[in-house]
């Protein structure tokens, strides 16, 4: 180190050293300035600026070397080989040009450093070729360590110079120029210190050399060229500065005129819910808003300008570049979008759990604008709506629409494969009672739990659906009857169980009807209808929960449909008649009233028992119209009788459930003129218990009018003391079934005696139905019964009056 410093201070003319440093600094500054200009250019223009920059630094390095050589006191005049001197200049220009080109095209700091390192290598190569151009007798002795140090210093400092100069500020430009100057000077003087010229003498002039005076002239010319380049770069900088100021001023003036529009546009781009991007004709992003990064799932600081469609797809989808299958997918997606961008249109892509609607709009020059919108919420809404359209909202099971669709598919497949399908209709028992007794929340919970249990026992291909209310349906493709039975056992196991809700334990049950394809039908509606028929048969059979369809059920169904049609015709055409059966006091045999009985002479069938047609009328809804006709007709006829007698009219459970019954009774009494105390309505406890709260409220309103209320068929069905306690009935009607054995059966007699005692304790009179013998009447007298009716006391018939007296009771 000390010998190097000693060499520098003793063997150099500092005037020339200063000149060398000045030339080096000027050329370094010109190079860095021109290089920065080249970065902002494209194509041919960039090449021109790179060439000028390479010339500037190459000439500068060369000039610095030879000016410094002029400063070197070798002890004799130095002469140079003209060819090697020229070669050294070319080496400086070419290698520095390559390094600068690498730096200009670099995308990372490492690439820029590499470009600077190539420039450093050019500096070293130029120097040692320039030393080789010296015409000397003998060879200089070299220090290998200092030679290596000179090369490394040139490479490292040049790399740092390029990295520093290509920043944004002017100070970085100056810093880069200083570092490049240090690289050139450090390399040169370290290399010179590595050489020992003590064994060297000048060669004789041979005509192809350059003496030091000529070299001084050449260096002066080149220095002028460098100064020209520097002045040119300064002029360019000043021109750029002024042009930039003018452009900024013009832009400011334009901005002042359209400031509000620009602000609105910027706000719109920043805050718009859609992503927007401008693509080049090559499919690379030129411009985008922040929303695009957000929708692609990329961090906000991600730089995507210049990225291709393939690169974007890999970034957003997360493909591995080494995965050939992934790359194929990327290329396919990019190809689809390029083709779509040429003609315009939109496509929906799934990115993770999100859905994106992408629309491309070509703008005519190969470029296109892309709009991207997150439609995940609308997709979820569509899916929810689609789910609601095909599923029951309460239980989540398939609804009727989806069941029909799935059932149709199963039938088609069964037909193609000659298979079988079993279809099941299910109806819960006493579900209305659950709702009435424990509330609809409990009823809903029962349905939900049953649905969960159904779903848990299903196997592939099996379906259970809720059709509405407490109705369920199911089907199963099967190849053996054992498989169908096993399915039904699972269904029955779910249907019959317990459901806990809050502090209530509900026992569930139901009726199951089964029909099979193709034995019981070949189309969906026929099979479902037949399964329903079988289910109703199961409901009527207390000993069986599952009933298979039989052809005879069809006959019964057709019979019921025909009866329904005739019932409505009878309502429209006044096809019903009334009969009256007398009610008498057991003790005095005085008439206490008449029970109104409905009769129907069905065309083509004759007289039909009410026991046959009343249930059908209740099922089809005709009972309301029939009941209103009976009440109105009976009241009108009773009001016209010369002698006033109470009439008893039966009210069905269906009528009792209608809120309009109170208004109907009130209107009929008003229109007929019948006194309310002459009307008695008979209801069964079964009719009351189906909706007890509503039924008792309706009866209270009717009783407040003065109309009597009797409980009919007491002793059968529920016969709950709670019902008698909850409502003040005016009469208890003992069911006729007890009178059939009352003469010979002590048990029947005991039951009659108990009911009569119950009536006396409640101060409610008891009427016995079905009295057909004097013996039965005597038993009632002995036990203290209040009233009676039956064939022994009078058969039902039509009323005819003459001279305002009862003349006859014509039998019907």
pLDDT digits (tens, 9 = 90+) for 418-458: 999 999 999 998 888 788 778 888 889 999 999 999 999 99
Q: For all residues of the chain together, what is the average pLDDT?
A: 81
Question: How confident is the model at residue 629, as a pLDDT?
Answer: 94
- Give the residue numbers marked as catalytic: 769
The neighbouring-strand residues paired with 468 are 471
120 — pLDDT class (breaks 50, 70, 90): confident
597 — pLDDT class (breaks 50, 70, 90): very high
- Strand 708-714 vs strand 679-684: parallel, antiparallel, or unpaired? parallel
Sequence-distant (6+) residues with CB within 8 A of 775 are: 743
Residue 804 clears pLDDT 50, i.e. is over it: no
C-beta of residue 749 within 8 angstroms of C-beta of residue 784: no
pLDDT digit string, tens, across residues 732-765: 998 888 888 888 878 888 888 888 998 898 899 9
* Residue 592 CB coordination number (10 Å): 20
pLDDT digit string, tens, across residues 154-197: 888 888 888 888 766 778 888 888 888 888 888 877 887 777 77
DSSP H or E run through 308: none
Question: How confident is the model at residue 89, as a pLDDT?
Answer: 84
769 — pLDDT class (breaks 50, 70, 90): very high
In percent, how much of the chain has pLDDT > 70? 83
pLDDT digit string, tens, across residues 57-98: 787 777 777 777 766 655 556 677 778 878 888 888 888 888
Question: How confident is the model at residue 289, as a pLDDT?
Answer: 82
In percent, how much of the chain has pLDDT > 90? 25
- Report, as an integer, the average pLDDT of 641-661: 88
C-beta of residue 358 within 8 angstroms of C-beta of residue 349: yes
Question: How confident is the model at residue 702, as a pLDDT?
Answer: 93
249 — pLDDT class (breaks 50, 70, 90): low
811 — pLDDT class (breaks 50, 70, 90): very low
CA distances from 648 to 98, 553, 681, 709, 787 (A): 120, 37, 6, 9, 13
Residue 258 clears pLDDT 70, i.e. is over it: no
Which has more pLDDT, 341 or 316? 341
Q: How far apart are the first and last CA of the chain?
A: 145
812 — pLDDT class (breaks 50, 70, 90): very low
Residue 767 clears pLDDT 90, i.e. is over it: yes
Which has more pLDDT, 540 or 142? 142
809 — pLDDT class (breaks 50, 70, 90): very low
Question: How confident is the model at residue 322, as a pLDDT?
Answer: 52
Task: Say which DSSP state 203 is in.
Answer: P
Of 161, 156, 154, nearest in space to 53 by CA: 161
- Report, as an integer, the average pLDDT of 461-471: 92
């Amino acid at each position: 180190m000390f010998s190097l410093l000693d060499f520098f201070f003793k063997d150099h003319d500092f005037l020339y050293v200063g000149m060398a440093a000045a030339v080096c600094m000027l050329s370094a500054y010109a190079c860095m300035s021109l290089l920065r200009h080249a970065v902002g250019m494209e194509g041919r223009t960039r090449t021109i600026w790179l060439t000028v920059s390479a010339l500037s630094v190459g000439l500068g390095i060369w000039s610095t070397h030879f000016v410094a050589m002029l400063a070197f006191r070798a002890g004799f005049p130095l002469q140079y080989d003209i060819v090697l001197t020229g070669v050294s200049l070319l080496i400086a220009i070419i290698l520095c040009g390559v390094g600068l080109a690498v730096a200009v095209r670099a995308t990372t700091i490492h690439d820029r450093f590499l470009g600077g390192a190539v420039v450093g290598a050019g500096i070293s190569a130029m120097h040692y070729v320039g030393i080789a151009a010296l015409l000397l007798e003998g060879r200089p002795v070299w220090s290998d360590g200092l030679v290596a140090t000179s090369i490394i210093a040139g490479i490292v400092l040049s790399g740092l110079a390029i990295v520093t100069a290509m920043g944004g500020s002017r100070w970085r430009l100056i810093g880069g120029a200083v570092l490049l100057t240090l690289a050139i000077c450090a390399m040169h003087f370290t290399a010179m210190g590595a050489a020992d010229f003590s064994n060297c003498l000048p060669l004789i002039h041979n005509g192809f050399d350059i003496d030091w005076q000529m070299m001084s002239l050449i260096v002066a010319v080149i220095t002028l060229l460098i100064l020209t380049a520097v002045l040119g770069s300064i002029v360019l900088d000043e021109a750029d500065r002024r042009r930039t100021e003018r452009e900024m001023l013009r832009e400011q003036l334009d901005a002042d005129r359209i400031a509000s529009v620009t602000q609105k546009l910027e706000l719109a781009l920043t805050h718009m819910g859609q992503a927007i991007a401008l693509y080049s004709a090559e499919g690379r992003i030129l411009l985008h808003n922040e929303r695009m990064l957000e929708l692609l799932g990329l961090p906000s600081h991600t730089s995507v300008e210049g990225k291709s469609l393939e690169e974007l797809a890999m970034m957003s989808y997360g493909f591995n570049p080494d995965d050939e299958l992934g790359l194929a997918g990327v290329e396919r997606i990019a190809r689809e979008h390029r083709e779509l961008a040429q003609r315009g249109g939109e496509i929906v892509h799934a990115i993770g759990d999100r859905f994106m609607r992408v629309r491309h709009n070509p703008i005519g020059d190969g470029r296109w604008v892309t709009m991207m919108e997150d439609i995940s919420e609308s997709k979820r809404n569509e899916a929810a709506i689609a789910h609601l359209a095909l599923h029951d909202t309460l239980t989540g099971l398939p609804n009727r629409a989806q069941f029909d669709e799935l059932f149709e598919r199963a039938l088609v497949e069964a037909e193609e494969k000659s298979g079988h399908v079993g279809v099941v209709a299910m109806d819960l028992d006493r579900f209305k009672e659950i709702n009435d007794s424990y509330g609809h929340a409990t009823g809903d919970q029962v349905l939900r739990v049953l649905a969960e249990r159904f779903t848990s026992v299903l196997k592939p291909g099996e379906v259970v659906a809720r059709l509405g209310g407490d109705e369920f349906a199911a089907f199963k493709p099967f190849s053996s009857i054992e498989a169908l039975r096993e399915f039904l056992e699972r269904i029955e196991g779910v249907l019959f169980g317990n459901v806990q809700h809050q502090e209530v334990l509900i026992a569930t049950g139901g009726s199951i009807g089964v029909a099979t394809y193709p034995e019981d039908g070949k189309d969906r509606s026929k099979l479902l209808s037949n399964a329903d028929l079988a289910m109703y048969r199961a409901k009527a059979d207390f000993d069986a929960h599952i009933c298979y369809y039989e052809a005879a059920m069809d006959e019964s169904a057709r019979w019921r449909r025909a009866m329904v049609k005739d019932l409505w015709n009878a309502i429209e055409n006044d096809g019903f008649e009334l009969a009256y059966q007398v009610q008498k006091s057991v003790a005095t045999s005085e008439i206490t009233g008449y029970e109104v009985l409905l009769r129907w002479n069905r065309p083509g069938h004759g007289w039909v028992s009410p026991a046959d047609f009343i249930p059908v009328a209740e099922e089809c809804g005709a009972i309301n119209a029939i009941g209103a006709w009976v009440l109105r007709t009976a009241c009108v006829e009773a009001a016209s009788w010369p002698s006033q007698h109470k009439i008893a009219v039966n009210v069905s459970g269906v009528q009792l459930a209608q809120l309009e019954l109170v208004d109907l009774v009130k209107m009929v009494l008003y229109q007929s003129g019948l006194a309310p105390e002459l009307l008695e309505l008979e209801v069964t406890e079964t009719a009351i218990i189906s909706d007890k709260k509503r039924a008792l409220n309706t009866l209270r309103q009717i009783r407040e009018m003065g109309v009597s209320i009797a409980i009919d068929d007491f002793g059968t069905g529920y016969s709950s003391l709670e019902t008698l306690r909850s409502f003040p009935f005016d009469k208890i009607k003992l069911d006729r079934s007890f009178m059939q054995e009352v003469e010979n059966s002590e048990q029947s007699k005991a039951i009659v005696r108990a009911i009569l005692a119950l009536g006396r304790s409640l101060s409610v009179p008891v009427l016995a139905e079905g009295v057909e013998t004097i013996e039965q009447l005597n038993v009632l007298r002995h036990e203290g019964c209040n009233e009676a009716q039956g064939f022994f006391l009078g058969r039902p018939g039509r009323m005819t009056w003459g001279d305002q007296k009862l003349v006859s009771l014509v039998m019907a």
